[in-house]
Amino acid sequence: MNGDEITAEREDGLCIVGIGASAGGLEAIREMLANAPTDANLAYVVIQHLDPNHESLLAELLSRHTDLSVRQVSGGERIRAGNVYIIPPGVGLSVSKGHLDLTAFEQPRGLRRPIDDFFESLAIDQGRFAACVILSGTGADGSAGLRAIKEHGGVCVVQDPRTAKYDGMPTSAQNTGLVDLIRTPSQIVGASQQYYAHSLANPKDTKLVKTVESNLDDICGVVRNFVGHDFSGYKKSTLLRRIQRRIQVLDLRDAEEYLQHIRSDPQECELLFRDLLINVTRFFRDPEHFEVLRETAIRPLVQNSGNEDDIRIWVSGCSSGEEAYSLAMLVAEECRELKRSVNVQIFATDIDEQMLRIAREGSYPQAALVDIPEDCTVE
């Protein structure tokens, strides 16, 4: 859906909230939706890890605890405010032009990421009118999709891990550094409504945008003093959009109030810093580009190198390291195929120390490995 279509679709102010949960998630979902108002411009889509061999009773169980209309998805439904849509067992779910589509899983059970997949489709289809919520569950499903929601301008909410029966998914999401709001389940709907009350304003012609523009240099100066990086030369439209998001998340009136807040709160400087970076990455992201890189650069480099020659590769802005490791796998595969024994050094840099720590450890959740082609392995 392009920007014009999203604007046309938003005369009713509909915002779609994707809810991801796993073990212990039923209690959290019930608590979240128990007092959700029926007249708010929010629709909810629940993605839970379900046993494909058993019928789901989730819709029936939830309907007893909320005044919202609850239904299991059969495919093709147009998403409407005041409704809760439940994923069926054994299939994935995606959004296309505001409609729900059932999808077949390509991965075996255990490697499936239904929450990530749904969040990513929701982000692409709905842009800033998408929200994701990650509740109780084990593993890391949802963390990659959360990055996509943030990249496309949506809002990311996570259950406070201290209140989760299983804190694996909320903690993994929180560790991305991209979460906007951390709340108990009963607080999430209210916080989402508050956020969208701000963000539904015209982003191009409001007092808020004008106050951000007039305080932009001062805000960049505060970030530079606290974080050590100068964003004054950053793309202006991105700066304005990201600062406006932080003001909306904090429920502040304008940029003057935000400037006072950020001056007294170094943690807010860090959060804005992360909003500006948005480390969106995964193994072999944009696979067609990696294939071009293999054919036009990596293969010729290896082919034209003699045994014991050196190849050096630099990955700038490496984020949490998946791109650097993807390149390492491609080079290793070409060396095997071409029977070359080449010394390879890959340098990876980033201004985000938190992401670099993840990259150095090289430890990723099992669900992230599904993006790696079967023939790309490093011995």
Tell me: do 230 and 175 sit in the same domain: no
Find the range with the poorest average confidence among 49-58, 61-70, 258-267, 326-335. 49-58
Tell me, yes or no, if 51 is annotated catalytic: no
pLDDT tens figures, 198-213: 666 555 546 777 888 8
Tell me: do 214 and 182 sit in the same domain: no
Q: Give the pLDDT score at 7.
A: 40
Tell me: do 269 and 324 sit in the same domain: no
pLDDT(251) > 90: no
Q: How far apart are CA 328 and CA 331, in angstroms?
A: 5
Tell me: do 260 and 342 sit in the same domain: no
| Contacts with 235 (C-beta within 8 Å, 6 or more apart), sequence order | none
Tell me: do 117 and 251 sit in the same domain: no
CA dist list (Å): 182 to 46, 165, 173, 268, 315: 18, 16, 10, 14, 33
The answer to whether the beta carbons of residues 118 and 45 sit under 8 Å apart is yes
Question: Residue 325: inside a domain, yes or no?
Answer: yes
The answer to whether the beta carbons of residues 1 and 97 sit under 8 Å apart is yes
Q: Give the pLDDT score at 227.
A: 85
Tell me: do 41 and 157 sit in the same domain: yes
pLDDT tens figures, 232-241: 888 888 888 8
pLDDT grade for 307, boundaries at 50, 70 and 90: confident
Question: Residue 101: inside a domain, yes or no?
Answer: yes
Tell me: do 211 and 170 sit in the same domain: no
pLDDT tens figures, 117-155: 999 999 999 998 999 999 999 988 998 899 889 888 899
Question: Residue 379: inside a domain, yes or no?
Answer: no
Tell me, yes or no, if 74 is annotated catalytic: no
Tell me: do 241 and 348 sit in the same domain: no
Catalytic residue among 22, 192, 319, 320: 22
Answer with the residue of higher pLDDT: 250 or 183: 183
Per-position DSSP letters for 177-206, written without gaps between them: T--SEEE-HHHHHHHHHHHHHHHTS-TTSS
Q: Tell me, what CATH number does 313's domain have?
A: 3.40.50.150
pLDDT tens figures, 355-372: 888 889 888 876 677 778
Q: Where among 277, 305, 325 does a domain terminate?
A: 277
Number of domains in the chain: 3
Tell me: do 80 and 166 sit in the same domain: yes
Question: Residue 282: inside a domain, yes or no?
Answer: no
Average pLDDT rounded to a whole number, residues 303-311: 85
Catalytic residue among 116, 117, 125, 141: 141
* Host domain of residue 217: 207-277
Tell me: do 38 and 182 sit in the same domain: yes
Find the range with the poorest average confidence among 101-110, 268-277, 333-342, 370-379. 370-379
Q: Give the pLDDT score at 274.
A: 82
Q: Where among 168, 196, 224 does a domain terminate?
A: 196
Q: Give the pLDDT score at 205.
A: 45
Name the token pair of 33: 């939706």
Tell me: do 151 and 269 sit in the same domain: no
Tell me: do 39 and 161 sit in the same domain: yes
Answer with the residue of higher pLDDT: 284 or 370: 284
Q: Which of 188, 162, 143, 206 is nearest to 364 (CA)?
A: 143
Answer with the residue of higher pLDDT: 199 or 173: 173
Question: Residue 202: inside a domain, yes or no?
Answer: no
Q: Where among 196, 216, 250 does a domain terminate?
A: 196
Question: Residue 201: inside a domain, yes or no?
Answer: no
Q: Give the pLDDT score at 57.
A: 86
pLDDT(10) > 80: no
pLDDT(222) > 60: yes
Question: Residue 141: inside a domain, yes or no?
Answer: yes
Tell me, yes or no, if 160 is annotated catalytic: no
Q: Which of 67, 218, 249, 68 is nearest to 150 (CA)?
A: 249
With a pLDDT cut of 90, the percent of the chain lying above it is 51
